[in-house]
Structure 1
C-alpha cells in the first residue's frame, strides 16, 4: 500500500485540550507561574501532526550476513531450491541459512556478475561483466576452457539478458540487442547467431504461454523463437519503457506506462495454474506491482525510493528484491505491516492496550500513540507537566493499565499519570515498572525502588508494600506478587513475605511480567527460566524451550481465550493452555515480523498487535500463510578428508571409512529452524535427531550401510527423503584365503610358543627349587646366628654364676627356660613359619632369659591388636629375634641413665601386618662406637642374614616385605632409641599360612 500521511483527528485534539487544561491550570497555579501556564496551553493547542506509514516487514541480508556484494544485479532459484545472487563482488548461493560465495578462485571468469538463469537440468547460467558465458553444475563452474559447447560461443559484447525454454534452448541478448541461441539438449549442442534476424530482445520467461518457444521482439514485430527459427506472432514491437502484457488468445499487446524509467521487469508464472500471477516493474524508486486482474494500474509499491534491480518469487512464495548497494530484501508475508512513526526519536514500542476503538502504544520520549485503523495520533506528555520533566529524556511509557472504572493509568520512567473523565493527574514517584489493580479504589504500583499502594482517584501513595526494587507486580489471591531481579516474592496482606524461588528454582530468575488466565492460573514470564504457571502456591505449568517455545528469555505475556501469547527475544509463541501438552505455534522474523525482540503483545480476535524495537506491527493470524516447502539437499560428501563427487551410491576401500556428510534443508520461511532426522542402517537402526547440518562417522567397519536423512521445518513440513548406500570393502585380512593362511601360521606359531613356554616353565621350576634351597640355607644360617656360641656361652656363664652363688632356684629356672627356647627355636626352624601367638611366647621366653642375664636392668611389653587372629596368622620364623636382640644388646645394654624399655607391637595397618620393635636405648650411632671396641661381628652377620631372608621372600611371593629403621631423637636431636617397623602384606602371609 502506498505510504500515506496521517493527521490527528481534530475532535480528538480538542478532547485532549479540554482534558488537559483544568488539571494543568490547577498544577501550574500551584507553582505560581503565569508564564508556565501560557507555555503549557500553547503546547497543548499545537500538538504536532503524526507522519506515519504502514510498511512491510522485510528480512534483510547484506555482506555482513555473508552475501558476496551489496549490489544485486539479478537473482534466480535453481532446480534444487537454492537462490543465486549476481553481485558486483561475486556469485552467491543461499540455502536459507548460509551463503556460499564463488569468485575467480572457484572458476568464474570475472567476479562482477550481471545476469543469471536456472534451466531445467539444474544448471545455473552465469553472465559476467565480460564477453563470455558460463554455467554452474553439480559443484563445478564450466567455461569455454572446460566445456565443448561453450568453446563455440563467440560474443562481441557483454550479455545483458539470459532466458530459455522448457527444452533448455538458451537465449542470450547482449548490449545493442545482439541475440544468440544455445541448443544444449539435441546432439553435441549448437551455437546459433541470431543477428541476421535483426535486433532482438527477449521479453517473456519460458512457459509464458505454455509454448515450446520464447517470445522475442524486433523493431517492428513480435515472434515466437523455437529451434532457432522465428515464428510470427504479432505486429508491433514490445515497448521498452512500459510494462507489457501479451494476450495469447487475440494476439494483442497491452501495456501500462511507468511514471519512472524502468530498470528491469520480473514476471512470475505459476506453473501449476499455468498463468501469470505477479508482475513487477523494477525502478530506481522501488518495485511497482501491477494489478494482474485488470492490468490498468499499479497495485502497490515496494521499497519506495530504493533502487531495485531484480525481483524473485521463490517456491515458498517469498518475494525477494535485489537492490543497488543495499543488499537483498525478503518479504515473507504481505499480511505483516509495521507502523513507522516519523515524528518520534524512536519507533520502539514498550506497552500496548486497547481503549475503545483505539489501540494505545507506549513509546519513548514522553509519547504515546493512538491508532484507529490506519489513522495515528500522537500524544506528547512532556508539555503538560512540570518543567522537571526533561523534553530530551527517553522517558518511556512502560505500562498502560485500564482500570475497572474505565480510567487509563500510565506508568512512565519519570512519573505516574492518570487520565479520567474529570481531568488528568500526575505523581512524580520513582520510575514506574508495572501497574495492577487491587480494587476499584486502589492500585498496586511497582517502581525502580519499591512497591507501593496508590489511591486511584488522586494518585496519592497510601503505603509501601515492598521496600526494594521491583520489576513487575500483580495482585493475586489476596496477596501481592512482587517480581524482582533475583526472582519472585509473595507478600501477604499482614506483612510477611516469602521468596518463591526458594521452593521453585524456575522462579529465581528476573521476573518480566504477569498474566492471569480464565482458569485462575497466574502466569509469570522470566528472563532465563521461561514461563511459569502457578495456582494455589503450586506450579501448574512450566514452559521452556524443551516444551517448544522459542526462548527461555520471556519479555511479555497476553492471555486471549484459551491461548497464552508469549513474547521473547526470539519471536512470539502462541501456546494453547487448554491442552495438557501445551502445543506451541511460533512467529518470528522468518514469518514477517520486523524484529524478534517482543516488548508487548495485544490480541483482539484474530488481529495481533506487537510492540518491538522496530515499532508497532499488526497482522491477522488467520491470513498468515503457513504454506511452506522443505527440500533436503546433500551439499558434500567427504571421504578421509577428501571431497567426493555427489552420486547415488558409493563403494569405498576399507581404508576410506572416515565419512563426513554435509547437507541442508532449504526452507526460506523457516529461518533456519529445521530439525534433521537420520540413521545409518547397518550401524544403527534407530533414528536420531540433530539441528546441525553435517554428520561424521570417523571409523566405520567394513560392510553395507544405508544413510537415511529427513528434514522437518518450522511448520512441520517433512522434506523429501535422502537415501545414500555405502559399501566399504572387506580388507584383505578378512578374505578366506588370508584366514586359512593366518590359521596355518597361528598353528605353527602356537606350537613354537608352547615349546618355548614349556622350556620357560622348566627353567622357572629350576629357579624356584634353587630359591627354596637358598631360603632353607638362609634359615639355617639365621638359626646358627641366633644360637651363636657367644649367646650359648653367655647363657652357660649365667648358669655357672647362679650355681656358684648357690642359687639353685634361679639355676633351675634359667636352665628350664633355656631348654624351652632351644626346643622352640629348633621347631620354628623346621617349619619355616610361626604363628603370632607362638612368636609372642618365643620372644617372651628369649627376653626373660636376657632380662635375667642382665640383672633385670630393663622392662619390656608385647602388645597384639585385638583384630589380629594370633592362631591363624603366621610369620616367617626367626625374623624378628635379631632385631629384638639388637635392641637389648646394643641399645638398652649400654644405657647409663634411667631404666631401659623395650616395646614390641603387632598392629593391623590396612591390608598389612605391622610389627614394631622399639627401644629407648642409646641409638644406632652410639652403638656403632661401642662395636668398634667389642667383638660382636656375629650380630652384624645376623642382621645381614635377616635382610637376605626378606629379599628372598620378596622374590618368592611377589609381595614385598618392607623394613624401616627409624632413629629416635629428642628436641635437641640427641638419640633416644631406635624404632624398627616391619610391614608384612596379608596376601603374602595368607600364602605362608
Structure 2
C-alpha cells in the first residue's frame, strides 16, 4: 500500500515590527517618504491604472500588461496568455464583491476572478451581454450587485446572487448625458453619481425626485458638459469632481456651494495641473488629488493645497509626474499608480523625523554633515561638527552663523572638530574640541575665541587638547573630560586641576563621557571602565588634596551583575534617578543600587538595534532613545522592549556619531549622525494600529508551486489557495516541500521578523528575516508534523519577549494503518 504523509501546517508566525504610541496627529505629513514598486521589483509593466486591497489583505494592481497580486514582498502575475477567461492585459478597474471574488475591467471586456481557485473563470452571460466593450469603472453595492461603467455603452447592472450571475442589463440610458461613462460613486442615501464625457448625472436608485441638495448640482452651469474623470464623496459628505482638463470642483453638501480649483502656476495653493485623474481621502481627512503634474494635498483646516511633484531624487518625490490612480487603505498606506513609474507608496503613520544637513551654496545650512555635539538654549541652537566647526542657528532656522578655524584669524576657534558645549557662570560659551583644546567664545559678532590648551610642564594647564565632554561640577566649576584625564576648570583664572593625578591608577584615564547625577555623584566613562566619585570630594579638591577616593566598575565574566564591556561612551540619568550607561560594543547597562551596586545589560539579542550606543535621551513618557551604529532605538524600561528606527523610517543615516544628542523644553530630541542631524518630538508619533495577521502565500513541492486542483501522484494537494487551506495530505514521493508566508503588512515590511518551528524536527525556533520568509523541509518521517508560528499580541523586538506569547499545543489526531495527521487551524 502506498505510504501517505499527512501534514497539518499550523504556523503561528512570530513577527516583530516597530510600533509607537501617542495621540493621533491630524495634520498632513510635511514630506512623505516614498517607496517604489516597478518592474525592477517584479511588476510586469510600469503603467498602473487601478489599485485594490482585498478583504484578505493582499494588494492588487492593474497594469497595461496584466493583473498583479502583491503580498508585501513578491508579485503573482495573471495575464491573458495564461488565463483563458481574461480578455485582455490592459487592466483598467477592479472591484471585490461580498464573496471575496474580483471583478476585473479591461479594454476588451469584463472578467471574473474566482478567489477560491485563484484563476479567471467563464461567465457566459457576461460575454453574451457585454462582449468586448472597454470597462472604465466597477463598483459593488450592499446587495452584492455589480455596477459597471463602460466607454460608449453606458452603465450595466449585474445581479450577483449566491455567487451566481443571474442578470446582466443596461440601465439608466435615458438619464445619462453621454454613454461614455468614466466613474461611478455610490452614496449612502442610495444615490448614484455618474461622471461622463459630457457632464455629471445624479441618479436616485430608489426612484422618485432628487433631494434638493442633489437637484442644486444641476443649477451650476460651470460643470455642465465637462469631461468628469473621477468623483469622491468624502467623510463629511462633500463631493469632489475631477475633470480631464479644467481642474477640480468641490461641492459642499452643507452650504450647497460649488468651489473651483484650477491650475495657477503663480498660486502655490492651487493645483499643479488641471488634468485630475483620481481623488482619495486619507485617514486624517486630507483630500489627495492625482494629476498629470503629481500629487496635490488639500487640507480642510487651512483650505489650501500643497503639492508633491516628480523628481529624480529618491524617496522625496514621485518618480513619475503622471498619476493615474490612487488608493488609501485602512492602515494609512497611500498607493499611487503612475503612468511610467509603477507604484509609489507611503504610510501616513511614518514618523516625523526632521533633519538639518549641509547644503552646498546654502549659508543657512549647517557647516558639515558629521554632527558631533548639540546644544540648545532659548531660541538658539548650536551644532558642533567633526570637520566643519560650529553652526549657530537662530530665528527658527532663518539665520545661521558659522564659526570655523581660520589661519587668517588667530582668534578663531582652534579646531573644526567640536565635541561638546557648556555655558559658564560668566555667560561664556565653552567649546570642547578634539585636538584644539578648550575654546571660550568671547564675542559672537566678531567670531572671537580664547583658546585654553595643554602646555607641557604646566600642571595648571589642560591635561590634553583632545576633549570629549564637559559637565557642571557646580555653578562655577566645570569638569573637563579629556584623552589624558579628568580636569576641573576654574573660570576665574582659566586654570585646571588634574583629578587623575591624585588617583591610584596605573593607566591613562581616557575619558569618553561625564555625568553629575542627582545624588551628588560624578560618573566618568572611559575606555577601560566606569568610575564614580563623590561630588563633595571633588568640590573641595585642590593642589594639596591627598589621594582621592573613587569606585571603579569593570566587566567580570564570572559576575553576571558586573558591567558588560569596559569601553563606556555615553551616560544618562533618567527622571527616576536611574543611571544608564552606553558602551562601545556591548549595548546599554542599567545601574541598580541593590547591595554594592550592579548592572543589568540590554543588547542586540534583547532587541537593541546595535551594540554601539553613542548617546541616550529620555522622552516625556519615560522612554529612552538610544543612537547607535545602526539605527535609533526606543526603549521602554517598564516593559523592557525596544522599537527600532532606521533610514527607511526617515532617518538621515543608520549611523549616528559620538555623544551627539540633546533635548529641549518642548520635548524635542536631537541626534547627530554622519549625514546630518535628526530631530523630532516623540509626542507627535502616531500609533500604528496594525498587528499583522500572517498568512501562507505559496506551497511548493520540489521547488515547484503547487497548482490548485492539479493532481500530484494521483492526489490533489490543494483544493483552494494555501491561505484558505485547513489540511494538506502529501504522498511520500512529495516529501520535499516548502511553505512561504507573509504578514501582509505594507508599512516597512522589511523590518518584520518571522519565527517558525517544526515540532520534532527543529530543536529551536528558527528566526528569519523578511527576505527569507519560508520553511523548507526534506524527507520527513510519516507522522503528524506540527509547524508552529507565533502570533504576538504586541509588536516588540527580541525573541525572548515573544516566547511569552506561546499558544497551547494543538491536539494530534490518529488514523488507522499508521497514518497520522493534524489539522491546520486558522488563528
**1:546-695 correspondence runs (5 A):** 546-559=605-618, 562-569=622-629, 571-577=631-637, 579=638, 582-584=640-642, 596-599=654-657, 600-604=660-664, 607-611=667-671, 612=673, 613=675, 615-621=677-683, 624-638=686-700, 643=706, 644=718, 645-646=720-721, 647-650=724-727, 652=729, 655=732, 660-669=738-747, 671-672=749-750, 674=752, 693-695=773-775
In 1, the alpha carbon distance for the partners of 2:116 and 2:384 equals: 52
**1:228-627 correspondence runs (5 A):** 234-235=217-218, 236-237=224-225, 238=228, 239-240=243-244, 241-246=246-251, 253-259=258-264, 260-268=272-280, 277-292=285-300, 297-302=303-308, 306=318, 307=321, 309=323, 310-322=325-337, 325=341, 328-333=344-349, 336-341=352-357, 342=359, 343=362, 344=365, 349-363=371-385, 366=388, 368-369=390-391, 374-382=396-404, 386=408, 395=416, 397-402=418-423, 407-412=428-433, 415=436, 416-419=438-441, 424-426=449-451, 432-438=467-473, 440-447=476-483, 450-451=484-485, 453=487, 455=489, 457=491, 472-474=512-514, 481-484=524-527, 488=529, 490=531, 500-501=554-555, 507-508=564-565, 510-517=567-574, 521-534=578-591, 538-559=597-618, 562-569=622-629, 571-577=631-637, 579=638, 582-584=640-642, 596-599=654-657, 600-604=660-664, 607-611=667-671, 612=673, 613=675, 615-621=677-683, 624-627=686-689
Structure 2 CA distance for partners of 1:204 and 1:723, relative to 1, 3 Å: farther
Query: Does the Cα contact within 8 Å between 1:602 and 1:610 map onto a contact in 2?
Result: yes
Structure 2 CA distance for partners of 1:221 and 1:86, relative to 1, 3 Å: closer
If the length of structure 1 is used for normalisation, what is the TM-score?
A: 0.54
Q: CA deviation at 1:281?
A: 1.5
Query: Does the Cα contact within 8 Å between 1:444 and 1:454 map onto a contact in 2?
Result: yes
Q: CA deviation at 1:528?
A: 3.0
Structure 2 CA distance for partners of 1:506 and 1:116, relative to 1, 3 Å: farther
Query: Does the Cα contact within 8 Å between 2:104 and 2:112 map onto a contact in 1?
Result: yes
Q: CA deviation at 1:316?
A: 1.3
Query: Does the Cα contact within 8 Å between 1:651 and 1:729 map onto a contact in 2?
Result: no
Structure with greater helix percent: 1
In 2, the alpha carbon distance for the partners of 1:135 and 1:111 equals: 12
- Gaps of at least 5 residues in structure 2 are 1-27, 219-223, 229-242, 265-271, 312-317, 454-463, 501-505, 534-546, 707-717, 821-827
How many pairs does the alignment contain? 659
In 1, the alpha carbon distance for the partners of 2:508 and 2:727 equals: 68
Structure 2 CA distance for partners of 1:100 and 1:326, relative to 1, 3 Å: closer
Query: Does the Cα contact within 8 Å between 2:569 and 2:614 map onto a contact in 1?
Result: yes
Structure 2 CA distance for partners of 1:390 and 1:62, relative to 1, 3 Å: farther
Aligned to 1:102: 77
Question: After alignment, is 559-568 or 367-376 more displaced?
Answer: 367-376
1:81 correspondence with 2:48: no
Query: Does the Cα contact within 8 Å between 2:486 and 2:511 map onto a contact in 1?
Result: no
If the length of structure 2 is used for normalisation, what is the TM-score?
A: 0.63
Q: CA deviation at 1:531?
A: 0.2
**1:12-31 correspondence runs (5 A):** none
Aligned to 1:852: none
In 2, the alpha carbon distance for the partners of 1:162 and 1:548 equals: 46
Query: Does the Cα contact within 8 Å between 2:67 and 2:91 map onto a contact in 1?
Result: no
Aligned to 2:23: none
SS of the residue aligned with 1:621?
helix
Query: Does the Cα contact within 8 Å between 2:355 and 2:678 map onto a contact in 1?
Result: yes
Structure 2 CA distance for partners of 1:213 and 1:463, relative to 1, 3 Å: same
Structure 2 CA distance for partners of 1:111 and 1:547, relative to 1, 3 Å: farther
In 1, the alpha carbon distance for the partners of 2:525 and 2:575 equals: 21
Query: Does the Cα contact within 8 Å between 2:193 and 2:201 map onto a contact in 1?
Result: no
Aligned to 2:795: 714
**1:760-779 correspondence runs (5 A):** none
Aligned to 1:216: 195
Structure 2 CA distance for partners of 1:552 and 1:220, relative to 1, 3 Å: same
Structure 2 CA distance for partners of 1:727 and 1:547, relative to 1, 3 Å: same
Aligned to 2:456: none
Write the deviation string for residues 416-459 of structure 1: whole angstroms up to 9, x where unpaired. 54335796334687565444445533442335xx4563746487
Aligned to 1:910: none
Question: After alignment, is 427-436 or 519-528 more displaced?
Answer: 427-436
In 2, the alpha carbon distance for the partners of 1:723 and 1:195 equals: 58
Cα RMSD over matched residues? 5.5
Query: Does the Cα contact within 8 Å between 1:528 and 1:552 map onto a contact in 2?
Result: yes
